[in-house]
Chain A
């Protein structure tokens, strides 16, 4: 094992700087985002007009329906709507 003197420990502390706060917060919100995603997909399955509107213009339709697009994993929503 390498000797861990104070200089080496300082280098290793420095090697892990914090990730940008906004990235961390977005990842922490994932469970909520997935709940929203599941709600939207369920609604789209039950309401074909809503599904068509989402496929035609995803972000505008979400905003119109009161969802914040930034808080939803849009790529995954597109995949699920197309499947």
Chain B
């Protein structure tokens, strides 16, 4: 099984065994999530975001041997990032004490949205590589039709319809993974 398709718990176990490629995959898998918590949920400045980002992965690496539940690595990383962002806000606002209960507006809602977004990105792994690339480039990387067409060697005039088809396929996959309550099987 390729590293990218390993479940979180197995990936963590490989990291703990000293597999450097597994560690690279773990960083890659959670980098967007950590980055988004710093920059979107807490709106840290770029230099603060970078320091928190590196600290999160340094502490994750140090704690690999002490995690209570390998499967829960994502929420563990999420909480660690949240705590380090709060520490960063505290240290940068000398006159104002940052209370975790009075965080910048909408942090909890934003964290919940990022958890949903992470689940959607996980579901994207089940798309074809072409679909995954198109959706990621258009929505997450904000690339133009022209740039996407050139990068993937497809006519830019067909990209809008491909996006639409790929989103429909993603919806099917995502709803299959997350059935609505009460939905009959």
Question: Which residues on A are within 8 Å of B, measured CB to CB?
Answer: 1, 3-6, 9-10, 12-20, 23-24, 26-28, 30-32, 34, 73, 76
Contacts and interface: CB of A to CB of B under 8 A. Distances in A.
Chain A facing B: main interface SS: helix
Nearest to A24: B31
Contacts, number: 101
B57 A3 contact: no
A13 B120 contact: yes
Given A24-B28, A28-B23, A28-B28, A6 B53 contact: no
A27 B54 contact: yes
Given A6-B171, A28-B23, A28-B24, A16 B180 contact: no
Given A9-B167, A13-B121, A18-B140, A24 B27 contact: yes
A53 B36 CA distance: 40
Given A23-B53, A28-B28, A17 B34 contact: no
Nearest to B34: A19
B80 to A, nearest CB: 13
A31 B54 CA distance: 13
A73 B24 CA distance: 18
Interface in B120-158: 120-121, 124, 135-136, 139-142
Contacts of B121: 13, 16
Interface residues of B, number: 43
User: Which 6 residue pairs spanning A and B have beta carbons closest together?
Assistant: A19-B35, A15-B117, A27-B57, A13-B139, A16-B32, A6-B167
A17 B114 contact: no
Given A17-B35, A73-B58, 13 more contacts: A1-B180, A4-B120, A5-B171, A12-B116, A13-B140, A16-B140, A18-B140, A19-B32, A19-B53, A26-B54, A27-B27, A30-B23, A31-B61
A23 B138 CA distance: 22
B91 interface: no
B32 A28 contact: no
A14 B35 CA distance: 13
Given A15-B36, A17-B140, A19-B32, A4 B175 contact: yes
